Amino acid sequence: MPHLVVLYTGNLDAVVDMPALCRELADAMLAVRDEDGKQVFPTGGTRVLAYPAPHFAVSDGGAAGRAAGDGKTGVATDDPGEYGFMYLNLRMGRGRSDATQKRAGSALLASARARLDSAMATRHIGLTVQVDVGPEVFDAKHSTLHPLFNKT
């Protein structure tokens, strides 16, 4: 933990460099500090995983965008005008302050917008960032990654 899962409409692959976005989101997570200036998320535990949806239906399928005639045709697929959508869900363990949780969400939103705003200038794209913290019913970890970063 923390894990950031990015779900997005597959048509965004044509207009967004997803590997670069994943790296930027991970870097944004690693830069988050708490009120004492300590790194919030452990380097070895930070994960960003992105999954395109090859099949999707968003809103009215682009009809309102085409009717608006605003030039945002969304020609990212063979269906001109189809909308795009991206959902970022950060799941973190308990114990961080509300302010730290909001700081993490704001950092992810800023990072995603830095990558998406140019595409959003010409296409209709929805972006949602959600931070979830909850009681774990079961939480077990086994990793050879953490020792790389926990050297004293």
Give the list of residues 6+ apart from residue 9 with CB closer than 8 angstroms, or none: 52, 53, 56, 58, 82, 83, 84, 85, 86
CATH number for 3-149: choose from 3.30.429.10, 3.50.50.60, 3.30.540.10, 1.10.3720.10.
3.30.429.10
pLDDT tens readout for residues 20-70: 999 999 999 999 999 999 999 999 999 999 999 999 999 888 888 777 765
Give the pLDDT of residue 77: 42
Give the pLDDT of residue 101: 95
Tell me the C-alpha to C-alpha distance, in Å, between residue 62 and each of 67, 69, 101, 124, 125. 9, 11, 34, 8, 10
Average pLDDT, the chain: 87
Q: Find the mean pLDDT for residues 120-141.
A: 84
pLDDT tens readout for residues 6-16: 999 999 999 99
